[in-house]
Chains A and B, each alone.
Chain A
Amino acid sequence: MKKDIRIKKFYEKTVETWFLLCAIIAILFLGIISIYLFLEGTPAIFKIGLKEFILGSKWMTSAEIFGIFPMIIASIYGTLGAIVLGVPIGIFTAIFMAEIAPEPIVKIVRPAIELLAGIPSVIYGFFGLIVIVPIIDNIFGNGGNSLLAAIIILGIMILPTIVNISESAIREVPKSYKEGSLALGASQIQTIFRVILPAARSGILAGVVLGIGRAIGETMAVILVAGNTPLLPESITDRVRTMTSNIALEMSYAFGLHQEALFATGVILFIFIILINVALHLLVFRSEK
């Protein structure tokens, strides 16, 4: 009988350890991913020279000149543009969902936003290629593939993230805030913009930061619409290549220093992502306080 209990206890303990190990796998893989990426990528940065790599404005693989400055700039411009386009529309849609829309309309719009979030990025890219690119070409006569096309597609792609997170932030504002403001004679719109939005600020910011992460990391959709020329863009209608596109476009045939330089591009991208995550963590932490 005693032995039986001991076996049972051992069994329970083993399973608990298994659960713990599974939970630790997330930490383990975050570690392995970081280590392997840096191991593969940093040697190239030293071989090429940190300054030449990050600030070099020429990417010529046949001459072994690897400068990713134009791609860093393209990634930043693309992301900023997407934010300028997507954030106002996203936050206004979130206000609509949480405060303005009658319940039946919310019931129609919510699945639409869920669907928008579920559409694969390659479909956004395909849509951009066959619809947005020709429209831009008609207006500017530049062939259509451009930074502008990337901005429009990324702006659409970050909408669901911003709407969902902003909406839950707005809904979490205590009802008493709203009631107090309305009772003091403020209009509905005044209440939303002077009371509710400031109270939901850090949640909304978290949504924006997540949107930034999605925009800067997007690859396939951008490749299909941005034109992929590794030159510094002079205007919004120029063809650009982002860091992510650079990796995906050339990885399949690269070898030697060229391949290492692509991993190094990944390292720089990864550093951007880490910074974004730290910002997000600080925001969430502050709002929990």
Chain B
Amino acid sequence: MNTRLLIDNTIKILIWTSALITVGVLVWILLYILVNGMGELSWNFLTTIPRGEDGGIFPMIISTLYMIFLTVVISTPIGVSAAIYLVEYAKPGKIVKLIRFATECLAGIPSIIYGLFGMIFFVTVLELSFSILAGALTLSIMVLPTIIRTTEEALKAVPFSYREASLGLGASKLRTIVKIVLPTSISGILTAVILSIGRIVGETAAVYLTAGMVPRIPTSFMSSGRTLSVHLYILAKEGISLPKAYSTATILIIIVFLINITANKLGNTLKKHKKA
């Protein structure tokens, strides 16, 4: 009996230790980067262009914003429409299974493969050259599974009685979707968009091979641009400036932080809806 207790307690300690390691690693990473990066942060850093070891990250911020905007504009309508089809129209069968399988596979493909594909297809075959547009098109395919899946969950959370009431009043199926289902699930759809913004901001490999890495302010969607993540990669890889790398990493962490908080807030509203 005593050995049993001993074994149980040892395992319990292992379990607590594992959880501590998981959280500890996160705290370690965050503190290390924030402590070293916060000092260098200044308004100047955010609003000037880089000059060798000096200067700021203004062009990268603009490129990242362009990339987010264009990717969201391309992928959201497609992803939401696909989710609407899967939840509201599709009857279980081969097509749905195939779509599910394809979405799963797309989610499992590593970003470097997306980068390779984007480089052949968008950059070379469609002759978009290394540009924000080529990067955004590549990223749009990449975030599609996230948008479809999250929106599907949101649509499924809308109670059936809502649809029945609307249809019962004589509204058409499409009208029910547009006027009842979509407005009810709007916070879920926004969560999908926020989650994809997180992936767009954090992506390096796919962007680097499709949008290039020119550290200039992009003048249009057809110019090449260097996003914040690519900038951090280059700073770290080439060892250009450690302080600048710390502060760029800090900015990225702050963005990820904000994205997580927003997604959580939206998730909570969705839960409240479910209960109502």
Binding site for B on A (CB under 8 A): 8, 11-12, 15-16, 18-20, 22-27, 29-30, 32-33, 36-37, 40, 88-90, 92-93, 95-97, 100-101, 108-109, 111-116, 118-127, 129-131, 156, 159, 163, 187-190, 193, 210, 213, 216-220, 223-224, 244, 247-248, 251-252, 262-263, 266, 269-270, 273-274, 276-277, 280-281
Q: Do residues A109 and B19 form an inter-chain contact, with CB atoms below 8 A? A: yes
- The digit string for B1-40, where 1 denotes a CB below 8 A from any CB of A, is 0001001100110111111011101111110110000000
Q: Which of A26, A213, A216, A277 contacts B82 (CB 8 A)?
A: A26
Pick from B18, B198, B256, B259: contact of A89, CB below 8 A.
B18
CB atoms of B102 and A26 under 8 A apart: yes
A-B contact pairs, 18 of them (CB 8 A): A11-B174, A19-B89, A23-B85, A30-B106, A33-B141, A89-B22, A101-B19, A120-B203, A123-B33, A123-B249, A126-B236, A127-B32, A130-B32, A219-B112, A247-B112, A248-B208, A251-B115, A280-B108
In-complex Cβ contact of A122 among B103, B141, B229 (8 A): B229
Verify B82–A19 contact, CB threshold 8 A.
yes
Q: How far is the CB of A26 from chain B (nearest CB, A)?
A: 4
Q: How many A-B residue pairs have CB under 8 A?
A: 242
- Top 5 closest pairs, chain A to chain B, by CB: A217-B110, A120-B202, A92-B18, A22-B81, A19-B85
Q: Is B232 an interface residue (CB 8 A)?
A: yes
Contacts of B8 in A (CB 8 A): 187-190
B233 touches A125 (CB 8 A): yes
Chain A residue at minimum C-beta to C-beta distance from B245: A126
Contacts of A216 in B (CB 8 A): 110
Partner of B116, one of A112, A223, A251: A251
Q: Is the CB of B104 within 8 A of A95?
A: no
User: Which of A92, A100, A220, A248 has the most CB atoms of chain B within a 10 A radius of its CB?
Assistant: A220
B135 located at the interface, meaning its Cβ lies under 8 Å from any Cβ of chain A in the complex: no
When each residue 80-113 of chain B gets 1 if its CB lies under 8 Å from chain A and 0 otherwise, what string results?
0110111011100000001101111110111111
B78, A22: Cβ atoms closer than 8 Å = yes
> In the complex, what residue of chain B is closest to A19 when comparing beta carbons?
B85
Residues of A within 8 A of B71 (CB): none
Q: What is the predominant secondary structure among interface residues of chain A facing chain B?
A: helix
Is B209 interfacial (CB 8 A cutoff)? Answer: yes
CB distance from A94 to the nearest CB of B (A): 9
Q: Does B191 contact A (CB under 8 A)?
A: no
Q: What's the nearest-Cβ distance from chain A to residue B106, in Å? A: 6
Whether the pair B232, A123 counts as a contact (CB closer than 8 A) is: yes
- Does the CB pair A29–B18 fall under 8 Å? no
Q: How far is the CA of A96 from the CA of B79 in the complex (A)?
A: 35
Residues of A near B113 (CB, < 8 A) are 33, 37, 217, 266, 269-270, 273
User: B residues within 8 A CB of A11?
Assistant: 174
Report the separation of the CA atoms of residues A115 and B11 in the bound assembly, to the nearest whole angstrom.
27
Name A217's contact: one of B17, B112, B236 (CB within 8 Å).
B112
Interface size on B, residues (CB 8 A): 86
Interface presence of B45 (CB below 8 A):
no
Find the A residue at minimum CB distance from B5. A187
CA distance A126 to B228 in the complex (A): 13
Most buried by A among B32, B105, B237: B105
Residue contact B26 to A12, C-beta cutoff 8 Å: no
Kindly list chain B residues whose C-beta atoms are within 8 Å of the C-beta of A163.
22
**Chain A residues in 8 Å Cβ range of B221:** none
Starting from the known contacts A101-B19, A224-B233, 6 additional A-B residue pairs (CB-CB under 8 Å) come to: A23-B90, A93-B18, A112-B27, A193-B11, A251-B115, A266-B112
* Contact status B112-A122, CB under 8 Å: no
Most B-side CB within 10 Å, residue of A113, A120, A223, A274: A120
Residues of B within 8 A of A19 (CB): 81-82, 84-85, 88-89
Cβ-closest chain B residue relative to A278 = B105
B119 and A126 form a contact (CB under 8 A):
no
Q: Does chain A have a CB within 8 A of B184?
A: no
Contact among A95, A119, A126, A270 for B15, CB-based, below 8 A:
A95
A residues less than 8 Å from B25 (CB atoms): 116, 156, 159
Q: B69: CB under 8 A from chain A?
A: no
Cross-chain contact A115 with B256 (CB below 8 angstroms): yes
For residue B150, give the distance in angstroms from its CB to the closest CB of chain A.
14
CA distance A219 to B115 in the complex (A): 11
A127 to chain B, nearest CB (A): 5
